[in-house]
Chains A and B, each alone.
Chain A
């Protein structure tokens, strides 16, 4: 072939790519430090499973399959590109061991042709989704189609090159079967034409690879490179734990940011997230806010942040690189603030329910809740700008330790006549029942607390409650961005819990559960925390609770985000329901880790819902009613929950839809009923 031309092409192709990549690298490191090298073994295992092993792909049906085809084809054909580049210098170059007569080469030839064909299949599936089906979750740009055409052409040109080469040299390698089959068609062609075809196939393939490489840093296909590190450096902390801001007062003194207000407040892993987004739209497809017509679409949030970052690339790169990655300085960018009507509107951030459906769905492990809360932190603590109704909740938490400002003295009203002791009265308890604000004050959730206490007494569990010494865990305050208030509450609660030397805690609220379990360890509170459904399922299994009375109903269980996606408690509530005689459990279409949020999380419970077409709870109720209505009718039906907020949201939803004949109960209430309590 032509060594000179190949050298020029390689030099230009790799040179420009390295230049682009270096700029992206510097850009990525403008934010604060973020250590992500802990547990390398586990990281490697996750990378092998999810990046190399593509373990999340089957979840996505045919487009997932197509991705596996294209991805594995790329891995296999990487070698082929190297070989072809080498042949620019020496037409018989085969990377020393991959010659068509050598055993490894023969094996590789089969692989190469098979995977080239599989890539073509994958590309055709993608093209179908893009061009014909026009899947709404995708971003429909010409870029997407161009890339598909490039990949397709790379594959075809390679096979063409093989075929033309075989005919011209007369060395037919049947093992390169795709090329061999095609060569049959070319046999009659004049040699001049064949020479052109051979050259064309060769240069197209080896050149397009370089073109493709150079498009990556400027397109959503950057993920081909960045997805690997993005999976490797993913957050290994419990997903329910938000990163605490330490020494807030000191930070204010030193004028350091308390939240994210500028693009360079995002650390490198957050920026790597932005590079890696494939714009597949699966996050927004599952997002309850987006599904109900709110302004929030997680995919677009990422894209807006990424475009903002790229559009300030020049400015950022001019910043003195010696201070790059310095967390101490306030934003060094003069760029417009991130949260503004021009860029990310506040109502986008306030629409998030922190349900994590987006994160569960994202193929490349991009996180959202942390970024959204960080921007809320800025709004609440630095700008004091937030939905008006939240002020009531904040003030209630400050003055009365609960978001509704109920007098703390009335925390135990639900327990009257139920033989419930406080920790002060009974310090030798085995397990502390952390009641939570909703079960303590909300009329309907109080019944959950009462049913649970009855069951505990029935099963002979030695438990106590904190009573007026309990205050809100601060979950809602934290997710609303009021980290300061959250830490005040957390410190106070940890002090109380440690004073009573609490070892084990059970909660009836998934929000309390998550915060106590995953967030209080950061504040010196380390306990064994269980959710009431886990504890009860265990008691049922061991025969300490015997549900005997039949409940002849179709029941659908609604997964609470903070129980399910946040803490992977999916089975315990279902086991309890199955243990109740007569109960027929029916699953909604969106269930378990795809279960849709009720709309209450992320402090939504304490504010008006953002503007949209529908309320989240109305949509979720519709889904639940659908499965109940489609099931063969029996004695009646019910929606079961295991979270007091879900309870409020879904019973409101049922009322809105005028379906009050459908019961709405906590799993524990159903169990108590069947146990005759």
Chain B
């Protein structure tokens, strides 16, 4: 079995996000960037399949992004992926995930051998679009199960578990397939130091637009036009005084200011 994991570099969830002067991007200077946490589940799951005895010949990590995005490929390699692919070309960047998915599909089809299983996060925590998985499955014409929290493979059969309101669903698909991963699937590992070092020596290939003939025909379907910080939340108001007074004041405020009673 050959597994492909698709990963994305995103700002750390605790980072303070500022909008850049352009108004269509965020300030990246000094911003701490990490692997999208949902994609970490994908990488971890791939490695665990191998560790638990599935005949996994190769685990590949793929990303599309600028030069810095190579860092997360090294992380995936340190966790245990065998090699990495980096689609890295300034002409191919976009916020349009369907566009990106189409490029990824092209890059995947250019690989000498096909992948039996493609794993990626159910969404990236920066844009929260969640389109890459389903769109890519569509372009590659494979079955897709989204937001998976458990999976079992026997031979060509894959049984995926997902959580829905008040129940759990089990879906069966036949490989090759594409799954997106949800929190709960597994716990991503902390790479050991020797593995971090070894990752530096594993193959990481970069693909430019020129390496992907036909990519020029793919067009963007949407454009990011503006970003705005969310309106600042108003602070709480504390009512003070004697209990009876407070109750009166509270009712007055609810009536006159909040207009809810």
Contact = CB atoms under 8 A, between A and B. Distances in A.
Interface in A377-396: 381-384, 386, 388, 391, 394-396
Contacts of B192: 381-384
Interface stretch (B12-20, B144-152, B170-178, B249-257): B12-20
B214 interface: no
B197 interface: yes
A252 B191 CA distance: 14
B32 A399 contact: yes
Nearest to B17: A407
B190 interface: yes
Interface in B149-207: 187, 189-195, 197
Contact of B197 (A252, A384, A395): A252
Contacts of B135: none
B34 interface: yes
A400 B34 CA distance: 11
Nearest to B189: A384
A247 interface: no
Give the interface residue-count category, chain B.
10 to 19
A517 to B, nearest CB: 27
Contact of B32 (A249, A400, A406): A400
Contacts of B16: 407, 409
Nearest to B193: A381
Contacts of B15: 399-400, 407
Interface in A401-453: 405-407, 409
A484 B193 contact: yes
A249 B14 contact: no
A248 interface: yes
B197 A249 contact: yes
Contacts of B197: 249, 252-253
A252 B190 contact: no
A388 B186 CA distance: 13
Contacts of A456: none
Given A249-B197, A252-B197, A253-B197, A394 B190 contact: yes
Contacts of A407: 14-16
Given A252-B194, A382-B192, A400 B187 contact: no
Nearest to B11: A399
A432 B129 CA distance: 46
**Interface secondary structure of B, over-half rule:** loop
B14 A406 contact: yes
A258 interface: yes
B193 A252 contact: yes
Given A252-B197, A399-B34, A384 B190 contact: yes
**Interface secondary structure of A, over-half rule:** helix
B34 to A, nearest CB: 6
Contacts of B195: 384
Contacts of A396: 14
A407 B12 CA distance: 10
Contacts of B187: 388
A386 B187 CA distance: 13
B32 A258 contact: no
A396 B34 CA distance: 12
B12 A400 contact: yes
A119 to B, nearest CB: 54
A484 B193 CA distance: 8
A245 to B, nearest CB: 10
B91 to A, nearest CB: 30
Nearest to B195: A384
B190 A391 contact: yes
B14 A399 contact: yes
Nearest to A377: B193
A386 B197 CA distance: 20
Interface string B193-228: 111010000000000000000000000000000000
Contacts of A391: 190
A248 B190 CA distance: 18
Interface string A556-598: 0000000000000000000000000000000000000000000
B178 to A, nearest CB: 28
Interface in B1-46: 12-16, 32, 34
Contact of B12 (A386, A388, A399): A399
B186 to A, nearest CB: 13
A382 B34 contact: no
Interface string A23-57: 00000000000000000000000000000000000
Interface in A206-263: 248-249, 252-253, 258
A406 B197 CA distance: 28
A304 B14 CA distance: 44
A383 B13 CA distance: 27
B193 A400 contact: no
Nearest to B187: A388
A382 B193 contact: yes
A409 B190 CA distance: 26
Nearest to A383: B192
B191 to A, nearest CB: 7
A402 B146 CA distance: 34
Contacts of B189: 384
A407 B32 CA distance: 10
Nearest to A259: B193
Nearest to A407: B16
Nearest to B33: A399
Contacts of B193: 248, 252, 258, 381-382, 484
A244 to B, nearest CB: 15
Contacts of A386: 190
Interface string B123-151: 00000000000000000000000000000
Contacts of A249: 197
Most buried by B among A252, A383, A391, A406: A252
Given A382-B192, A484-B193, 19 more contacts: A249-B197, A252-B193, A252-B197, A381-B193, A382-B193, A383-B192, A384-B189, A384-B191, A384-B192, A384-B195, A394-B190, A396-B14, A399-B15, A400-B14, A400-B15, A405-B12, A405-B14, A407-B15, A409-B16
29 contacts: A248-B193, A249-B197, A252-B194, A252-B197, A253-B197, A258-B193, A381-B192, A381-B193, A381-B194, A382-B194, A384-B189, A384-B190, A384-B192, A386-B190, A388-B187, A394-B190, A395-B190, A396-B14, A399-B15, A399-B34, A400-B12, A400-B32, A405-B12, A405-B13, A406-B14, A407-B14, A407-B15, A407-B16, A484-B193
Interface of B: 12-16, 32, 34, 187, 189-195, 197
> When A and B form their complex, which 6 residue pairs have the shortest distance between CB atoms, in order from nearest?
A384-B192, A381-B193, A405-B14, A399-B12, A252-B197, A399-B32
